[in-house]
Each structure stands twice: as structure tokens, then as C-alpha cells.
């Protein structure tokens, strides 16, 4: 699966609807970057992913390409180590937050299959390993660590790429299913592996050429998540917060993530690889407040802007049959973070990771 933009179609001859779709996707992520700081004090909650792990759904080079057909299997490793406490847009003392560390690794397997040049489907199955270190507030118990390791929330997505012949613009529509556990003992609802909710996923992407020789490209992506079905559960921290057996509701808030970047597309036959593709991207996220008796709307959610350099290594195994092996890596570093935070029963702040890591290995067949 090469990163390639066809030059045969003249932009002036493209259909008006397709041009409008491409323009909308191209502008939406940068526009979101401009408006995020203006959203106001109602900003909000991280997913049950705690760091807002849906940010990994945007950016990178895994959107369908012009010559794609058939399938792509992939393995993803994501890593987040949250230990810096934030109140508003500033670092805050760790003593202000009863939570001390959230350490998470995701190991995802997935399949993307393009039935033709217009329609495809993607399925992602995550396995998540999360450890929460928190001050229980119980005399004699103090600071404890609680671990949860299980299958997470599965995503199923339909893909449409029929706007242009080069498949450069697409939309995605799907669901996140409540398959992940959300009752692991000692871990609060907004830090559980699963949200317990069913989420509507709506996204889009567009890529294009910056130079006529195709050496420089740009891309933009956006993904919107809207939970709409919820599940109640007994308080998983009830044994130390005085609520054993009390059924709580948890309604995760809406989240939108956008990415825009530039790709250098002209490094062929380097270091034993058929192609090496570096990129630079900006990723922006906004999250609305959680609600429900098991939520913490006072200390959940954020507006965030990250800068992310990345690189992809491509090895063609069988060109005639489009057998291609790729490995992608990036580091995502927050350059702006605004955490919604207020005193709530002695807790104030959110734990932030100073960087996120993503590795993706894929095989086309």
C-alpha cells in the first residue's frame, strides 16, 4: 500500500459535491484547532481511556490509498503514562489530586477490507492493560495500585471513498460497542477500560498534493464520537469510598479529534526499504463533560493540541499481488492542554501524559 496521489484527475473537472466534501474535511481539523481555546469553561471529560485515547484514531498514514483493494490486517501498540497533574492550563502539585498515576498500554488487532474503490469496512479489537495508582483515603490502606487487563471496546466502521477516482477523500461511519469491562474493582468509571456506552462514530479524511511532482502532500482527518446508550453499574470504588453496592450511572461526553499534516513522499529505496515516509502533524481534541452519579464532571475533560512527528517504513513483498508490509511510528507531544478541574470532595486536577506513543504494523493482502 503505497502513499501515492494520482495526478490524472483535474480538480476543475471533479464533481461539485466531491469538491465540497474535500474542502470541508480539509478545513474542519484546522478550524477546530482555532476554536478549541474558545469553547469555554464547559470543556470536559477524558474517555474511559482516561487520556482520551480516541486521539489515536486520527493522524498517521493508514487511510485508503488509490491502488488499494482487498484487505489489510494491522496490529497497533499505543502507550500513555499519565502522571503530571493539571488544573486549567497549568501544571499543579500532585498532592491536589488523589489519583497519582494512570499507566496504559493498548494492544489492538484489526482488519480493513476494501470491497472496491468506493466501499470498505474496518474492525478494531483492543486489549488494554491499565494500572491506576490512587490514594484511597482509607487509614492503613493509603496509596494503592489497581490493575485491569481485558478486551476493550470494539469498533466497527464503514468506509466510503467514492468521491474521487484516486480515493483521496472519504467518510467513515460506525459504532463503538460496550465490550470492554467497566466494573474493575478500585478503578473509577471514567478510568475503566470500557465506557459501558455505545458510541456513534462519524469521521472523514482528505489528502492532496502540495507540489506537482507529488513529493509533498497534505492530509486532514476528523473523528466525532457521540455516546447514546449507557449502562449503570455498582460503584467499583465502593469498598473505600463508602458506597459499596450503590448503583451509579455514567454518561461519557462527546469527543471530537482532528489532525492535519504534511508528508514527504519521495524517499524510495533507502536503508533497505522500498520507501520511507516522514510526516509532521498537529492533532487537536475537545471533550464535553461527563455526567451521571458515577462521573466526575469537576475533574474530567480537556482541550488539547499536540504536535506529532512520525515516520513510516514500507517493504513491498509481492508487487503484482499488492503484498506490502508497513510499520508506522509517531510520538504525540502536548503543546497546549486545558483541563477542566475544580474541587470535588478534596480532588482537583487531571493526570496528563507528557507524550503518547503509537506504533502500527500492517500487511496488505
Q: What is the mean pLDDT of residues 40-54?
A: 44
Residue 132 domain-assigned (yes or no): yes
Structurally, how many domains does the chain consist of?
A: 1
pTM for this prediction: 0.85
| pLDDT of amino acid 21 | 54
| pLDDT of amino acid 125 | 97
Torsion sign, CA atoms 128, 133, 135, 140: positive
Strands of the sheet with 350-352, listed across from one edge: 90-91, 84-87, 350-352
Cα-only R_g, the chain:
21
More confident: 40 or 123: 123
pLDDT at 143 > cutoff 80: yes
pLDDT digits (tens, 9 = 90+) for 230-288: 999 999 999 888 888 899 999 999 999 999 999 999 999 999 999 999 999 999 999 98
| pLDDT of amino acid 22 | 57
Residue 2 domain-assigned (yes or no): no
- Residues linked to residue 241 through DSSP beta bridges, in sequence order: none
The model's confidence at residue 41, banded by pLDDT at 50, 70 and 90, is: very low
Residue 301 domain-assigned (yes or no): yes
Biggest CA pair distance of the chain: 73
Picking from 40-54, 113-127, 265-279, 309-323, which range would have the lowest pLDDT averaged per residue?
40-54
Domain that holds residue 102: 11-364
CA distance 109 to 98: 34
| pLDDT of amino acid 205 | 96
pLDDT digits (tens, 9 = 90+) for 326-351: 999 999 999 999 998 887 766 788 99
| pLDDT of amino acid 18 | 59
CA distance 331 to 217: 20
| pLDDT of amino acid 30 | 52
Residue 164 domain-assigned (yes or no): yes
Q: Are 221 and 234 in contact (CB under 8 A)?
A: no
pLDDT at 47 > cutoff 50: no
Picking from 5-9, 166-170, 251-255, 292-296, which range would have the lowest pLDDT averaged per residue?
5-9
> pLDDT averaged over the chain?
86
The model's confidence at residue 127, banded by pLDDT at 50, 70 and 90, is: very high
pLDDT at 24 > cutoff 70: no
CB atoms within 10 A of CB 326: 24
The model's confidence at residue 13, banded by pLDDT at 50, 70 and 90, is: very low
pLDDT at 226 > cutoff 90: yes
Residue 23 domain-assigned (yes or no): yes
| pLDDT of amino acid 70 | 86
| pLDDT of amino acid 26 | 54
Q: Are 283 and 58 in contact (CB under 8 A)?
A: yes
Residue 25 domain-assigned (yes or no): yes
pLDDT at 23 > cutoff 80: no
Q: Are 121 and 158 in contact (CB under 8 A)?
A: yes
Torsion (CA) 327, 1, 58, 309 in degrees, nearest 10? 50
Residue 93 domain-assigned (yes or no): yes
Q: What is the mean pLDDT of residues 151-169?
A: 94
CA distance 355 to 365: 33
Q: Which residue has the cell 488499494?
A: 68
| pLDDT of amino acid 239 | 87
Residue 259 domain-assigned (yes or no): yes
Q: How many residues does the chain have?
A: 365
pLDDT digits (tens, 9 = 90+) for 57-91: 899 988 887 766 789 999 999 999 999 999 999 99
Q: How far, CA to CA in Å, does 334 sit from each of 2, 148, 167?
A: 30, 26, 31
Q: What percent of the chain has pLDDT over 70?
A: 84
Q: How far, CA to CA in Å, does 112 sit from each of 115, 122, 364?
A: 10, 4, 9
CATH of the domain at 33: 2.40.128.130
CA distance 103 to 339: 19
* HEC per residue, the chain: CCCCCCCCCCHHHCCHHHHHHHHHHHHHHHHHHHHHHHCCCCECCCCCCCCCHHHHHCCCCCCCCCCCCEEEEEEEEEEEEECEEEEECEECCHHHCCEEEEEEEEEEEEEEEECCCCEEEEEEEEEEEEEEEEECCCCCCCEEEEEEEEECCCEEEEEECCCCCCCCEEEEEEEECCCCCCCCCCCCHHHCCCCCCEEEEEEEEEEEECCCCCCEEEEEEEEEEEEEECCCEECCCHHHHCCCCCEECCECCCEEEEEEEEEECCCEEECCEEEEEEEEEEEEEEEECCECCCCCHHHCCEEEEEEEEEEEEEEEEECCCCEEEEEEEEEEEEEEEEECCCCECCECCEEECCCEEEEEEEEEC
More confident: 212 or 332: 332
- Residues linked to residue 191 through DSSP beta bridges, in sequence order: none
CB atoms within 10 A of CB 345: 11
User: How remote is the C-alpha of 30 from its chain's centroid?
Assistant: 17
CA distance 95 to 87: 12
| pLDDT of amino acid 344 | 75
| pLDDT of amino acid 2 | 37
Residue 154 backbone dihedrals phi, psi, to 5 degrees: -75, 140
Amino acid at each position: 500500500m503505497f502513499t501515492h496521489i494520482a495526478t490524472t484527475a483535474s480538480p476543475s473537472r471533479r464533481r461539485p459535491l466531491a469538491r465540497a466534501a474535500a474542502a470541508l474535511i480539509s478545513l474542519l481539523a484546522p478550524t477546530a484547532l482555532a476554536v478549541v481555546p474558545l469553547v469555554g469553561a464547559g470543556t470536559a471529560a477524558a474517555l474511559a481511556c482516561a487520556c482520551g485515547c480516541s486521539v489515536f484514531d486520527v493522524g498517521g498514514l493508514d487511510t485508503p490509498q488509490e491502488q488499494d483493494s482487498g484487505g489489510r490486517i494491522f496490529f497497533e501498540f499505543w502507550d500513555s503514562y499519565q502522571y503530571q497533574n493539571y488544573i486549567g492550563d497549568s501544571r499543579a502539585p500532585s498532592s491536589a489530586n488523589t489519583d497519582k498515576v494512570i499507566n496504559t498500554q493498548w494492544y489492538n488487532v484489526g482488519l480493513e477490507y476494501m470491497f472496491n474503490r468506493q466501499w470498505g469496512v474496518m474492525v478494531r479489537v483492543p486489549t488494554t492493560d491499565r494500572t491506576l495508582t490512587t490514594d484511597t483515603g482509607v487509614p492503613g490502606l493509603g496509596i494503592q495500585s489497581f490493575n485491569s487487563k481485558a478486551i476493550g471496546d470494539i469498533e466497527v466502521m464503514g468506509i466510503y471513498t467514492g468521491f474521487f477516482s484516486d480515493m483521496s477523500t472519504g467518510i467513515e461511519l460506525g459504532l463503538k460497542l460496550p465490550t470492554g469491562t467497566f466494573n474493575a474493582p478500585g478503578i473509577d468509571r471514567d478510568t475503566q477500560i470500557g465506557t459501558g456506552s455505545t458510541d456513534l462514530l462519524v469521521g472523514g479524511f482528505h489528502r492532496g498534493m502540495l507540489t506537482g511532482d507529488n513529493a509533498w502532500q497534505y492530509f486532514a482527518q476528523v473523528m466525532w464520537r457521540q455516546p447514546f446508550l449507557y449502562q449503570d453499574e455498582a460503584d467499583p470504588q465502593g469498598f473505600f469510598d463508602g458506597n459499596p453496592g450503590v448503583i451509579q450511572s455514567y454518561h461519557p461526553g462527546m469527543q471530537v479529534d482532528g489532525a492535519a499534516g504534511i508528508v514527504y513522499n519521495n524517499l524510495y529505496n533507502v536503508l533497505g526499504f522500498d520507501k520511507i515516509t516522514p510526516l509532521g502533524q498537529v492533532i487537536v481534541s475537545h471533550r464535553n463533560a461527563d455526567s451521571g452519579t458515577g462521573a466526575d464532571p469537576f475533574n474530567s475533560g480537556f482541550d488539547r493540541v499536540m504536535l506529532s512527528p512520525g515516520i513510516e517504513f514500507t517493504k513491498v513483498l509481492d508487487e503484482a499481488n499488492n503484498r506490502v508490509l508497513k510499520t508506522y511510528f509517531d510520538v504525540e507531544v502536548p503543546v497546549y492542554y486545558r483541563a477542566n478541574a475544580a474541587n470535588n470532595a478534596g480532588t482537583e486536577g487531571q493526570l496528563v501524559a507528557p507524550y503518547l506513543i503509537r506504533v502500527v504494523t500492517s500487511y496488505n493482502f
